[in-house]
Amino acid sequence: MRCSVVIVDDHAGFRARARALLAAAGYEVVGEAGDGESGVRAARELRPEVVLLDVQLPDITGFEVARRIGGDADPPAIILISSRDAADYGGRIGRSGARGFIGKAELSAGALEAVLRGSGR
Q: What is the pLDDT of residues 42-70, one digit of tens each?
A: 999 999 999 999 999 999 999 999 999 99
pTM greater than 0.85 (yes/no)? yes
Burial class (CB in 10 A: 0-12, 13-18, 19+), 1: exposed
What is the average per-residue pLDDT within 78-106? 96
User: Is 80 contained in some domain?
Assistant: yes
User: Is 110 contained in some domain?
Assistant: no
The predicted structure's pLDDT at residue 23: 96
Say whether pLDDT at 120 is over 60: no
User: Is 67 contained in some domain?
Assistant: yes
What is the average per-residue pLDDT within 15-19? 97
Structural domains in the chain (count): 1
User: Is 41 contained in some domain?
Assistant: yes
Say whether pLDDT at 119 is over 80: no
Rounded to 5°, angle at Cα 5 from 18 and 119 = 85
CATH code assigned at 78:
3.40.50.2300
Give 74-121 as a DSSP string.
SPPEEEEEESS-GGGGTTHHHHTT-SEEEEGGG--HHHHHHHHHT---
**21: containing domain:** 4-104
User: Is 119 contained in some domain?
Assistant: no
User: Is 16 contained in some domain?
Assistant: yes
Instruction: Give rounded-to-5 percent helix, strand, coil for the chain.
Output: 45, 20, 35
User: Is 111 contained in some domain?
Assistant: no
Q: Please, what is the average pLDDT of the chain?
A: 95
